[in-house]
Amino acid sequence: MINRDRILSEFVTLVEIDSPSFGEREIADVLRNKLEAIGFEVSEDDAGKQYGGNCGNLYGYLPGELNEEPLLFSSHMDTVAPALGKKAILHSDGRITGAGDTVLGADDVAGLVSILEAIRSLREEGIAHRSIEVLFPIAEEPYAKGSGVFDYTKIKSKEAYVLDLSGRVGRAAYTAPSILSFKAAFQGRAAHAGFAPEEGIHSIAIAARAISKMQLGRVDADTTVNIGNIAGGVATNIIPENCRVEGELRSFQHEKALRYLEEIRELFQKEADLAGAILHWEGTINCKAYCTELDGATAERYRRACTKAGLTAEFVKTFGGSDHNIFATKGIQGLVISNAMNSVHSCEEYTEVEELMKSTEIVRNLMISI
């Protein structure tokens, strides 16, 4: 049924294609040819043009024989850095790693391969399946930019399975957070640090006072807050006029995330006012939290698909975002499912051939589910 050698060959081929965010042209062309060879009607939008990229989102539709609602399957085409010149190395124990100087790219090539092999094997065997939709977005890594501009009037499915979760196959994330980012630029006043320090307004000191009053890390059971970047000043003998602070917060409750963001803005504004500085503030909602019902049809179908594959479904929360954060805002119920990728976003990333096989089997079971 599922062709192990073909999965391995296809994984290696796709991994070794450079596909940075907004530079997915080559892998998109390869994927389009593969989808059309299976029988999909494929189209590409202009998402790349909106961001100065070289490629759009790929969408495909394949009519099925089962008189059931279509299902949407999705994996993103881009790969997080460092990702240029990736190599896939197969080890004797079935593990596949990179060469150590880049990520492997199983995030999210493992998902692409499972979707392709699942439907290909069904077609080759003549097994009736649901109508299948696929969406392979660009630029998922920088906060789901590609799926954020897709035209969802094209989507027929009410349910989606997004292959983009690390960990053992059988896991599925049913809830994910809102992710908000912020940039705070303090504008103080420059002065000579030796001759006239009292004439300056020290922007870095203002930022430090504001950050010292923040609660960072896990601020409650639903929420995390982080400051990730600080930059300011031009020389050691000059009171720094400008300082920029960048951070993010994540929460499983969207309204709570908005409330925390406003509290941070108010804190930064207060410190700027006390020092006589100016605050330039920018807050961005990158994606919105969702929660899929565990007693609904989507989760129950996934349980059955795992059981049929000899696995037990495990439903988890994740603090990571994905394209499904966007899908959920469009009224599409779904799960983000594990797809044989581990230690992602690092040069220690790896997958396992047997896990790729299990992931493909689960996807295949979902495609023929009733």
Rounded to 5°, angle at Cα 121 from 359 and 55: 70
DSSP symbol at 237: T
Q: Could you tell me what percentage of the chain is helix, strand and coil, using 3-state DSSP and rounding each to the nearest 5?
A: 35, 30, 40
Examine the residue annotation and report whether 78 is marked as an active-site residue of this protein: yes
Q: How far is CA 249 from CA 100, 215, 290, in A?
A: 31, 11, 16
Question: How far, in Å, CA of 9 to CA of 36, rounded?
Answer: 19
Examine the residue annotation and report whether 93 is marked as an active-site residue of this protein: no
Residue in 118, 114, 120 with CA at minimum distance from that of residue 36? 120
| 203 and 232 Cβ atoms separated by less than 8 Å | yes
Which of 45, 108, 117, 140 is an active site residue?
140
Question: How far, in Å, CA of 83 to CA of 175, rounded?
Answer: 29
State the DSSP string of 115-133.
Answer: HHHHHHHHHHHT-----EE
Which of 78, 222, 323, 349 is an active site residue?
78
Within 8 A by CB and 6+ apart from 76, the residues are: 108, 111, 136, 137, 138, 139, 140, 141, 146, 147, 164, 323
Measure CA 301 to chain center.
23
Given its phi and psi angles, is residue 90 left (phi above 0), alpha (psi -120 to 50 degrees) or beta? beta
The H or E element containing residue 218 is: strand 217-220
Q: Which residues are catalytic?
A: 78, 140
